[in-house]
């Protein structure tokens, strides 16, 4: 089964505010973009992923992610994360009605294609399924089988909200790279220990040099 992934990217100038203790205002947009680039590149390298649709209104993010091979869907609703994801899923399914769709966070810089393959393969067993984040309260991936609405409920306590919505929680080991999103400096250090993609590594190296 070949999946289409919907990846939301908020305007870079407003992204990753919780990393302010690690990266200043001038660096955070580039760091957020690097996260998204490494996430999208790894997703496109996954053998069970047919394509990636990035939902964004940020011109720089759209340009750079399209250069990697992602499609870009303008965030027409402008109503926040869940509205953007629902819109992106509707757009890709209008073109290909029979596809399975999964929402994937854009801040998974350590993402490994082999681990994403394991998660998506497990998700094929259920009408809707999700993977909790490393912190245990959020969600990094929400999947919907062909003909099923994505019905995203990301945000605070999304693990509980997705479970309450009827989505099956995927309980998998050895998929740390798919669970490790980055919101804080501690998250970034954990991702770096897992091994991040080249763009995140380059920006992080500049941060470490500046902090010496």
Q: What is the DSSP string of 67-124?
A: HTT-EEE---S-S-HHHHHHHHHHHHHHH-TT--EEEE-S--TT--HHHHHHHHHHHT
Q: Cα(124)–Cα(192) distance, rounded to whole angstroms? A: 30
What residues are paired with 103 via a beta bridge? 6, 142
Binding residue numbers: 139, 155, 158
Nearest Cα neighbor of 8 from 67, 66, 53 is 53
Burial (0-12, 13-18, 19+ Cβ within 10 Å), 144: buried
Binding residue numbers for phosphoenolpyruvate: 139, 155, 158
Burial (0-12, 13-18, 19+ Cβ within 10 Å), 205: exposed
Q: Cα(212)–Cα(207) distance, rounded to whole angstroms? A: 9
Q: Which residue has the tokens 């490393």?
A: 134
Strand pairing category for 128-132 and 71-73: unpaired
């Amino acid at each position: 089964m070949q999946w289409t992934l919907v990846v939301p990217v908020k305007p870079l100038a407003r992204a990753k505010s919780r990393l302010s203790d690690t990266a200043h205002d001038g660096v955070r947009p580039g760091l957020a973009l690097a996260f998204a680039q490494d996430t999208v590149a790894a997703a496109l390298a996954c053998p069970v992923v047919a394509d990636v649709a990035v939902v964004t209104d940020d011109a720089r993010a759209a340009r750079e992610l399209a250069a990697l091979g992602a499609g870009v869907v303008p965030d027409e609703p402008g109503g926040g994360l869940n509205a953007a994801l629902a819109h992106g899923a509707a757009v890709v399914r209008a073109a290909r009605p029979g596809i399975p769709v999964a929402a994937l966070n854009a801040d998974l810089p350590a993402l490994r294609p082999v681990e994403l393959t394991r998660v998506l393969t497990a998700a094929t067993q259920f009408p809707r399924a999700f993977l909790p984040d490393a912190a245990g309260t959020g969600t990094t991936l929400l999947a919907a089988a062909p003909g099923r609405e994505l019905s995203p409920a990301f945000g605070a306590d999304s693990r509980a909200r997705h479970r309450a919505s009827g989505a099956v929680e995927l309980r998998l080991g050895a998929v740390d790279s798919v669970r490790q999103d980055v919101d804080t400096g501690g998250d970034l250090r954990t991702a770096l220990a897992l091994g991040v993609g080249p763009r995140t590594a380059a920006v992080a190296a500049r941060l470490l040099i500046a902090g010496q």
